[in-house]
Structure 1
Amino acid sequence: MDFGIPFISGLCCGLTIGVSFFAVRNYFGSFKTAKECVKKLASREEYKLVLVVRTDLNMSKGKIAAQCGHAAVGAYEKALKKDPEGLKSWQMTGQAKIALKTDSVDEIQQIAKNAKQMGLITSLIRDAGRTQIAPNSITVLGVGPAPKDVVDRVTGHLKLL
């Protein structure tokens, strides 16, 4: 009896389905029912990470990009420890990163204070002062990742960079 191509096709399909179920279970966590899985998927609201950039420092585009990178990495590292579920939600909803601007150190410090009071992750970046900016100058504040509506409570008044 020759099993041949139908057997191999069936085996491949079975392995693919098995690996898919395993991957989905590991990605979303284990569920007792299908309803639990659908509920968890539906409950994932959009998350975002906001980068508040000081424009009064007159940083070059490259400097702004580097400082935003520092803030994004800092926020990510804090989220890994403090809010891994929120981090996963942010990753599943597109990893939105929004750059906003402020023109004062006082405002960026107030936003950081308000965000912390709300329990949001913050990453306040101070420059080392090796190139364009005076040492220890606050350049960028990362807020989040967190639900969009929560982040907007502390940054919604700012304009896009």
Structure 2
Amino acid sequence: MKQVIAARTDIGMGVGKLAAQVAHASLSAYEDTDERTRRAWKGGGQKKVVVKASGESELYEIAEKARLEGLPHAIIRDAGHTQLDPGTPTTIAVGPGDDELVDRVTGDLSLY
């Protein structure tokens, strides 16, 4: 099992901002999973992979693919306290879910 988090490359997030947004996405998607999936993912080491998304539209394309596959997912929008305007979509987490299923949604994205 794994979770993949796609982060936008077009908005110039600093490394701290990127780390925070990835963490928000991971936790938000995790909270939307069922207990069986949570246990399996946690027991398997909570595998996470961070990949690149070219922009806002790609986040929504990923979300639609995840929805069609029945995978938990969460798009994160920044609060706007530091580097970005309020409501800026920054990341999406897909999963946790079976590796093969998550790869159907995110397998063509490059590592961050």
| TM-score w.r.t. length of structure 1 | 0.68
Q: 1:133 aligns with which of 73, 84, 101?
A: 84
Superposed counterparts of 1:32-111, under 5 Å: 47-79=1-33, 83-111=34-62
Kindly indicate whether structure 1 or structure 2 has the higher relative contact order, using CA contacts under 8 Å at least 6 residues apart: 2
Unaligned runs of 5+ in 1: 1-46
Question: Residue 84 of structure 1: CA displacement?
Answer: 1.1
1:134 match: secondary structure = coil
Question: Residue 91 of structure 1: CA displacement?
Answer: 1.1
- Equivalent pairs counted in the alignment come to 112
Tell me, in whole angstroms, the C-alpha distance in 1 between the residues paired with 2:3 and 2:61.
18
Q: In structure 1, give the amino acid aligned to 2:23.
A: G
Question: Residue 61 of structure 1: CA displacement?
Answer: 0.3
| TM-score w.r.t. length of structure 2 | 0.96
Unaligned runs of 5+ in 2: none
Q: What's 1:36 paired with?
A: none
> Runs of at least 4 residues of structure 1 off by over 2 A?
none
1:110 match: secondary structure = helix
Greater radius of gyration (CA): 1
Tell me, in whole angstroms, the C-alpha distance in 2 between the residues paired with 1:91 and 1:128.
28
Task: Give the root-mean-square deviation of aligned CA atoms.
Answer: 0.8
Q: In structure 1, give the amino acid aligned to 2:11.
A: L
